[in-house]
Amino acid sequence: MPTYDFKKYHVRSINAHDEAERAAINQELKALYATLNEAEQADFNAQLQVFLMTQYKTIGSEYEALKAGGAFN
């Protein structure tokens, strides 16, 4: 099974100039997903969940570090 580069899409979305560009990036992912068979879609979803959990964990760790350093006082 291929490995999907969700970070590439994520970074592009973060740097999008506007909501239209962000929507176009999301549409690219949807179009990619639509080309996959059922087994590949399951793998895509599993890889996406791992990516999202990693991102949430990173954000949480950064938030806690900022909070501990007094950034929110």
Neighbouring residues of 29: CB distance < 8 A, sequence distance ≥ 6:
9
Write out pLDDT tens, residues 3-61: 999 999 999 999 999 999 999 999 999 999 999 999 999 999 999 999 999 998 878 77
Q: How far apart are CA 26 and CA 13, in angstroms?
A: 8
Residue 72 pLDDT grade (very low, low, confident, very high; cuts 50, 70, 90) = low
Domain spans in the chain, listed from the N-terminal domain onward: 6-68
What stretches of 1-68 show up as alpha helix (H) in DSSP?
A: 6-14, 19-34, 38-68
Q: How far is CA 39 from the centre of its chain?
A: 21
